[in-house]
């Protein structure tokens, strides 16, 4: 039976993540929001600390690299494993700063892709790399099946050609997980992911985007021109299984969507915590023993936002717990991402409104959090795409039957 309280074995990790968020990330949050594209050098020390924990075996789930699903059939016990630990620690880190969390060395979304799809040899070979993930192209956004970047086998290398946009950590990362098609005629089943290491000839970072939020995180446009990648860098199996279709590549999202939901939860919780303090200073009482309708409009709005955040948190923990226990979680991952992405933006903007002038000014971080949270409802699949996936799963319809 699922228990959604913080598991005892993860409490120390969660507490440590909160301390890091409060003492290391929050103090430099405004600095790197204003210094867009400047690399947060303070994160190097934090990355070294996490590496040390990893080597000691004490950091299960301490970042994006901790989401590989255990497919063993021999252990039938209920697990609170790396997926649950990851979403809980990521939420705490984003309580500090979402953009800085996304800038963490060796904690890129591409690391989750490697953890989800790579075979055992690749997991060992790419251990310690900082991997960005490149999916989106100028011709499409949320419909990942429209990938037009090509990968052609030439001897013992694949030759990649195409352009990717909105690549988080695309300039700073050691490598990029690139989605490309082996054969456009074979449709979705031919889409595979490749690890392209930084410095590979033919791979070029064209520019960095200027953004509304998460400014500490670099977002790149990358082109691939006759970029030769070793064949063994194709993640998972090179075989094109038409029956399996897009499922192999899409398995990545079952792990990364709960992580993005956790980011939204952490950012929203930060806004609520600060707003509660500001309301109390203004003499607004929030009474949990009285119906919201009998309290002030500000208190009632605050209580509603807290309830929405609780729902998002429970959905996210459920999706992660299911992954830890080898249960298919595509539906739950999309539900968590849809709920958390939407209420994250609603809550951070709602907190700006409740704090009035303080919320809109740079005196507090509320306005920054409202900017940061918007991307969490967009990347890794927009709100609309998540709702479409949920509808397909519930109704038992394919993507061709329900568009």
SS (H, E, C) 269-335: HHHHHHHHHHHHHCCCCCCCCCCHHHCCHHHHHHHHHHHHHHHHHHHHHHHHHHHHCCCCCHHHHHH
Start-end of CATH 2.40.110.10 domains in the chain: 131-233
User: Could you give the C-alpha distances from 10 to 15, 80, 400, in angstroms and in order?
Assistant: 9, 8, 42
pLDDT band at 82 (very low <50, low <70, confident <90, very high): confident
Quote the distance between the C-alpha of residue 39 and its chain's center: 20
Q: Which CATH architecture group holds 8-125?
A: Orthogonal Bundle (1.10)
User: Which residue among the candidates 232, 306, 380, 401 is catalytic per the annotation?
Assistant: 380
pLDDT, averaged across the chain: 90
pLDDT band at 5 (very low <50, low <70, confident <90, very high): confident
Q: Which CATH architecture group holds 131-233?
A: Beta Barrel (2.40)
pLDDT band at 62 (very low <50, low <70, confident <90, very high): very low
pLDDT at 146 over 60: yes
For residues 70 and 90, what is the distance between their CA atoms, to the nearest angstrom?
20
**Angle, vertex CA 256, rays to CA 105 and CA 265, nearest 5:** 90
Residues 308-334, mean pLDDT to the nearest whole number: 94
- Please give the full DSSP string across 31-59, using - where no structure is assigned: HHHHSTT---THHHHHHHHHHHHHHHT--
pLDDT band at 46 (very low <50, low <70, confident <90, very high): confident
For residues 346 and 265, what is the distance between their CA atoms, to the nearest angstrom?
11
pLDDT at 250 over 80: no
pLDDT band at 56 (very low <50, low <70, confident <90, very high): very low
pLDDT value at residue 339: 98
The DSSP bridge partners found for residue 224 are 162, 203
Start-end of CATH 1.10.540.10 domains in the chain: 8-125
pLDDT value at residue 403: 86
Which range of 6-20, 25-39, 128-142 scores highest in mean pLDDT? It is 25-39
pLDDT band at 67 (very low <50, low <70, confident <90, very high): very low
For residues 260 and 101, what is the distance between their CA atoms, to the nearest angstrom?
11
pLDDT at 289 over 80: yes
pLDDT at 222 over 80: yes
pLDDT at 299 over 80: yes
Start-end of CATH 1.20.140.10 domains in the chain: 249-395
Whole-prediction pTM? 0.92
Higher pLDDT, 99 or 143: 99
pLDDT at 257 over 90: yes
Residues 369-379, mean pLDDT to the nearest whole number: 97
Question: Of 5-9, 329-333, 382-386, which gets the smallest average pLDDT?
Answer: 5-9
pLDDT value at residue 63: 43
For residues 400 and 403, what is the distance between their CA atoms, to the nearest angstrom?
6
Higher pLDDT, 264 or 79: 264
pLDDT value at residue 61: 43
380 is catalytic: yes
Question: Of 114-118, 239-243, 316-320, which gets the smallest average pLDDT?
Answer: 239-243
- Centre a 10 Å sphere on the Cβ of residue 350 and count the other Cβ atoms it contains: 22
**Which residues have C-beta within 8 Å of that of residue 204, sequence separation ≥ 6?**
222, 223, 224, 225
Query: What percentage of the chain has pLDDT greater than the value 90?
Result: 71
Residues 44-68, mean pLDDT to the nearest whole number: 58
CATH fold group of domain 249-395: Butyryl-CoA Dehydrogenase, subunit A; domain 3 (1.20.140)
For residues 262 and 79, what is the distance between their CA atoms, to the nearest angstrom?
19
Residue 83 corresponds to which tokens in the numbers above?
Answer: 């997926």
Q: Yes or no: say if 179 and 190 are a contact pair by the CB < 8 Å rule.
A: no
pLDDT value at residue 79: 78
pLDDT in tens, 195-219: 999 999 999 999 999 999 999 999 9
User: Could you give the C-alpha distances from 385 to 14, 66, 181, 306, 389, in angstroms and in order?
Assistant: 31, 26, 21, 25, 6
């Amino acid at each position: 039976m699922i228990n959604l309280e913080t598991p005892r074995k993860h409490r120390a990790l969660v507490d440590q993540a909160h301390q890091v968020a409060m003492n290391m990330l929050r103090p430099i949050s405004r600095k790197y929001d204003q210094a867009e594209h400047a690399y947060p050098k303070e994160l190097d020390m934090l990355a070294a600390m996490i590496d040390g924990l990893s080597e000691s075996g004490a950091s299960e789930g301490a970042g994006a690299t901790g989401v590989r699903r255990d497919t063993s059939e021999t252990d039938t016990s209920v697990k609170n494993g790396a997926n649950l630990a990851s979403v809980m620690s990521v939420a705490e880190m984003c309580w500090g700063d979402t953009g800085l969390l996304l800038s963490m060395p060796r904690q890129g979304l591409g690391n989750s892709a490697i953890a989800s799809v790579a075979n055992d040899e690749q997991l060992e070979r790419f251990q310690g790399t900082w991997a960005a993930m490149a999916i989106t192209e100028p011709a499409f956004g949320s419909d990942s099946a429209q990938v037009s970047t090509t990968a052609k086998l030439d001897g013992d290398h694949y030759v990649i050609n195409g352009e990717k946009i909105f690549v988080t950590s695309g300039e700073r990362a050691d490598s990029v997980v690139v989605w490309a098609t082996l054969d456009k005629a074979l449709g979705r089943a031919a889409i595979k992911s490749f690890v392209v290491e930084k410095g590979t000839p033919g791979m070029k970072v064209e520019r960095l985007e200027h953004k509304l939020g998460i400014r500490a995180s670099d977002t790149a446009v990358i082109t691939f021109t006759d970029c030769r990648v070793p064949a063994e860098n194709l993640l998972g199996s090179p075989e094109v299984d038409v029956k399996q279709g897009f499922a192999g590549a899409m398995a990545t999202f079952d792990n990364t969507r709960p992580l993005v939901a956790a980011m939204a939860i952490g950012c929203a919780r930060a806004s609520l915590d600060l707003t509660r303090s500001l309301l109390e200073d203004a003499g607004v009482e929030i009474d949990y023993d009285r119906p919201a309708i009998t309290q002030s409009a500000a208190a009632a709005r605050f209580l509603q936002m807290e309830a929405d955040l609780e729902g998002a948190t429970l959905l996210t923990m459920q999706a992660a717990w299911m992954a830890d226990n080898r249960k298919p979680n595509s539906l739950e991952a999309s539900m968590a991402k849809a709920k958390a992405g939407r209420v994250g933006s609603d809550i951070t903007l709602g907190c700006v409104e409740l704090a009035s002038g303080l919320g809109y000014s740079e005196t507090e971080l509320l306005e920054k959090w409202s900017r940061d949270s918007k991307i969490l409802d967009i990347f890794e699949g927009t709100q609309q795409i998540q709702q479409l996936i949920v509808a397909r799963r519930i109704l038992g319809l394919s993507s061709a039957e329900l568009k």
